[in-house]
Amino acid sequence: MKMSTRNESGATVVSVKGKVDTVTAPEFGKYLNEQISKNQNSLIVNMAELYYMTSAGLREILGAGKELKDKGHEILLAGLQDNIRDVFQISGFASLFKIFDTEKSALEQV
Amino acid sequence: MTVCLLLQIKLPATLENLAAFIEPVKSCAEKQGFSQKKILQIELATEEILVNIVNYAYQDHPGYVQIRCSVDDDKRFGIEFEDTGIPFDVLSLDTPDVTAGISERQFGGLGVFFVRKLMDDVRYYRKGDKNILKISMSGSAET
């Protein structure tokens, strides 16, 4: 798993690549929380190069989403590959979060 | 019905051993000709079940997990998980409310829910002092 962050106007963009599984999910969650405390705006998670996510990863996304909601912001998800999109559909997370085909279309919404 | 055993691994139930279980299961599924999508689903289901066993089966002493992969005449690929931890039927867990809003949404229960949704069949039974969970995915022809 690799993560990086960019600041765009109106949003913080976190790109996550590789696998968010049982072992890497806590680090992913910690990283999201750091970005949320540092930047007082909405968060876009670019998942274009993420190919695997377990329920542990979804729990971190949910935690970040709850935290942002409390602060009056939101989490937007972009570029989900098919199998990640399936996981979001099955868990009902697809209706909890705004999901965009690309990071660009997510940025246009913030 | 003939069932052919493809793989058997028995290791201590620890998070450190996750990859040592999952990687051989993946190669085994690949050899059966499953699509990449189904292999990812098998990988995800395998990981969610193992994590449950590692986290909950052995409360006061270390224990093991044994997995067996097999294929039958109908090309049905099965993975059986065995542990001797506390008796626990994961299928008895309540289904998470997948329609709850973000503030109400609970954190737990998703892993087992995934397993039930992604695999074609999931069965639990007790055999002596063992918990046996068997999951299966139907043949590679219909990927």
Residue A108 phi, psi dihedral angles, 5° rounding: -70, -20
What is the helix, strand, coil percentage profile of chain B, to 5? 40, 30, 35
Q: What is the pLDDT of residue B143?
A: 44
Instruction: Give the tens place of pLDDT for each residue, B2-50.
Output: 999 999 999 999 999 999 999 999 999 999 999 999 999 999 999 999 9
DSSP tag of A71: T
Report whether A48 contacts A78 (CB < 8 A).
Answer: yes
Domains annotated for chain A, with CATH where assigned, are 2-107 (3.30.750.24)
Q: ipTM higher than 0.85?
A: yes
Which of B116, B81, B110, B105 lies closest to A25 in space, CA to CA? B110
Contacts of B51 in chain A (CB under 8 A): 22, 54, 56
Distances (CA, A) of A98 to A25, A35, A59, A110, B102: 21, 19, 16, 11, 12
Using an 8 Å CB-CB cutoff, list residues of chain B that contact chain A: 15, 18, 37, 40-41, 43-44, 47-48, 51, 96, 98-103, 105, 107, 110-111, 113-114, 117-118
Instruction: Give the tens place of pLDDT for each residue, A69-99.
Output: 999 999 999 999 999 999 999 999 999 999 9
Question: Minimal Cα distance from A51: which residue of B?
Answer: B40
Domains annotated for chain B, with CATH where assigned, are 3-142 (3.30.565.10)
